[in-house]
A and B are shown apart, each in its own frame.
Chain A
Amino acid sequence: MVSASILILIPMLGAGAAYALKSNRLRPAILPVVGLAHLGVSAIATQAPFDPAQRHWFALDPAGRIALMTVSVLFSCCALYAPVYLRMHEKRSNRVFCACMLALLAAMSMVVYAQHIGMMWVGIEAMALAAAPLIYFRHTSEAIEASWKYLLLSSIGVALALLGSFFLAYASIVGGESTSLLVSDLVREAEHLSKPWLRAAFVTLLVGYGTKMGLAPMHTWKPDAYGEAPGLAGALLAGGLTSCAFLALSRFTMVLGAAGEAALASRLLIGLGLFSMLIAAVFLVRQRDFKRMLAYSSVEHMGILAIGLGVGGVGLFGALLHMMNNAFTKGVLFLSAANIHRTYGSKSVDEVRGAFQRAPLSAVLFLTGFIAIAGSPPFGPFVSLFSILQGAFEARHYITGGALLVLLWVVFVGMGHTVLRVVQGVPEGEPASPRESLKLVAPVAVLACVVLVLGLWMPAPLLRMLQEAAAYLEVHP
């Protein structure tokens, strides 16, 4: 409870300070300070035991622990990257950008901690709004288009999530049980909830929070937003915001499981997950814009998370681990892609060639990120994807497992084509900006190391936390 208020308040105060501070030069320095403080407090908070009988609105449940670590590590690396990046755009005011980045961290912490479905919704709404100015940072007409599409779609998504929460509340009224909206109470009294309303609630929530996650067919904001937003914002959206929406969805899946409706949830999640992977695979092949490529890769991996949640068992363990791996790898990919984008002044493979020569470190990191996200050893995503596949086959979802394998392979080939065109070859024309700065490579390298370590060796405390989280989310009537 104490850690909740600290972790939500620190970034909120930071956002206030960033907005109040006049100096464009000093302001970005707040980001790493807040980020590292958040990381420190999070590390302590995840050690605290969780009492399932508690009735606070904000508490860190085992699944929240994983999400909190994901968000905090990713944000810290982005916050180290941000001041250097913002110094390059010093003429433009970064007041709104810094404040919104910190507000986004506060909102994500709120979603992680929220045990009350209303509070969870407020956190998601705040997250959606804080992200819009980040997408708009460049102020070009394309950026406006991207922010408009993002805002309209995510507002509809959030509205539907509210409707779904209302349905769930009505299910408990019709069921005649106490009208508590705490996740723990809903799970305990799940059998008494009115079944038709519970099902309607889950479908609506899946569409609503699925829009925030970017599951197909509600993914259409993603390519535009990730394509036009600065790499920094892309990393935070693809790794942080979407992970929090997934966490929210997994808590509702838990309620459904407790009500004995796990089969419905599983069917819907697997269906949407496979459809997302399929759409992503179609658009990834021959993709000419490498930032939009990353957006489709994000759609694909959100689909994989949904499948992992749907199959349950080892798959659920895999999905939680994959939430972490995906977030960190997306951080590597978006930030290194941003470095390459800056060096060439373009994000189209028609103009970007030979990044190995012009921005060697970023190109190596970009290629590393690609190999990792495609699921090859020795990186983290290999382990989590393997667990999800194992979960699918153990739960006898043979077709799902087979489709997952085929689609992973198609995506690997499609993405590989684009990535190799970017890094190989001989660069043409003059570079748009001077040599890559080491300060812009170091935070990305740190994230890449984390991804590598997660693939080689799983620390015992992390393993225990993941197992606890998977056991917590898997509820049977």
Chain B
Amino acid sequence: MIDSLFDLVLCALIIFVAFAAVSGRDLFTAIVFFIVYGLMVAIAWLRLEAIDVALAEAAIGAGLTGVLLLGAYGRFKNIDAARMGSWVPLPVLIVIALAATGLSAAVGVVLIALDPNGLGLIPAVNANIAQSGVFNPVTAVLLNFRAYDTLLESIVLVVALVGVWTLADNSAWGQRVGKTQSVRANGVLQSFGRTLPPIGLMIGIYFVWAGSSQPGGAFQGGTILAAVGLLSAMAGLFPPPRVNDARLRLSVIAGPILFLAVAIAGTAWGGMFVLPADLAYGLILAIEIVLALSIAITLMLLVLGPPEMTETPQ
């Protein structure tokens, strides 16, 4: 009883915060509510015993998405209030509200009518996990049973990066990515940037390594590593890389390319993506580690944005 009361309160809060994020008066408030919303949804995932998803939601859904939105908000400062946008006209608004409510209701009705004992693929996963090479069922699905999805997903990230870079000025091509950062020496950011990275680095590496048996994995670990890299870059510990740096590009695709290579090698063992049971653990761990590094760098570059720096001659 107490349990479901907690769930009810949490869900009510999630809906309230989502409402504030969607309809908040000004953009900044909306973004802040969105980040809070992401963190509360992560708690919901813990309640649904989906710890891997909770980690991904907190790190990517709330964290990185929030950073992206806040970064864009910062660029909106020069826009007239009149051109910041508003709501669509009232009659349209009413139609949209009705359609959205209808869809929510329809999904709700469908959910209530579902077989309450539906097991999904739990039995199939349990029956085959012994051959997957790992103990964490989520990792088994991501890197073995449905590895093809995960390969394509890691490529989606790279495509997004190419798309973001395509938005650079022609003249900025070959420059360092992102906007010039100015950091006050010995300021808060710089001291944070010095102390946090080692801790973050350890946590990130732990998550990648733990993914085979416990919650964690390449995407969650990679996100934490990306945060470490971003913080260090913002603190001025290293200059952002150049967009045409060959090593940078190689590090972005190293993970997906290793993944693809292992997938193709599988044809020697019986078909694409086949991992022989005795080698599976080693191959999955190798893919996870390299993939996590590539993901970390790609995510960092996605947040930094296209090259914009105008080089000042020294």
Same complex: no
Interface residues of B (CB under 8 A from A): none
